[in-house]
Amino acid sequence: MKTYILYGSPNDMDFMNPGKAYFTENNIEFEELVLSVHRNTDELLAWLKAFQASGEKAVIIAVAGLSAALPGFVAVKVDVPVIGVPVPCGPLNGVDALLSMVQCPGGVALGSVGLHKKAPLNAAMYAHKILAMAQ
């Protein structure tokens, strides 16, 4: 099993460096993709459909700032755990992203980490614990 890290923007990739370092230190396989709900909707839907059809067991970390539609959108489309990571950016410094994740409507199972510089590490550790349960 592995973790997929999905980004709403390539600008968010460096923010996840602590989480990627954790995965590397703990020999956890991960793959990164930039698939925006707003800019790459068709490509994102195709990837999610193929992932879901594959039956692969994984954890998805969805990293997004501003409106942060990515984590909730992904959580609706797949049957594996999804962890949202809000990026502290924009005029509200990430508060809008955090609220987008923690205020998902009932029936949308989405985990989220806090809004701080250790959030990427927390997301990686959370994914690791989920993966450990599956072994």
What CATH number did the domain enclosing 72 receive?
A: 3.40.50.1970
**Distance separating the N- and C-terminal Cα atoms of the chain:** 9
Which range of residues forms the domain containing residue 81? 2-133
| Structure tokens that stand for 54 in this block | 């594959």
CA distance 17 to 3: 14
Based on the structure, what is the number of domains in the chain? Answer: 1
- Look at the pTM and tell me if it is higher than 0.75: yes
Q: How many CB atoms sit inside 10 A of residue 39's CB? A: 11
In the three-class reduction of DSSP (H, G, I as helix; E, B as strand; rest coil), residue 118 is classed as coil
One digit per residue, the tens of pLDDT, for the chain of length 135 reads 899 999 999 999 999 999 999 999 999 999 999 999 999 999 999 999 999 999 999 999 999 999 899 999 999 999 999 999 999 999 999 999 999 999 999 999 999 999 999 999 999 999 999 999 987
**Torsion from C-alpha of 95, 7, 1, 17, nearest 10 degrees:** -80
Q: How many CB atoms sit inside 10 A of residue 43's CB? A: 13
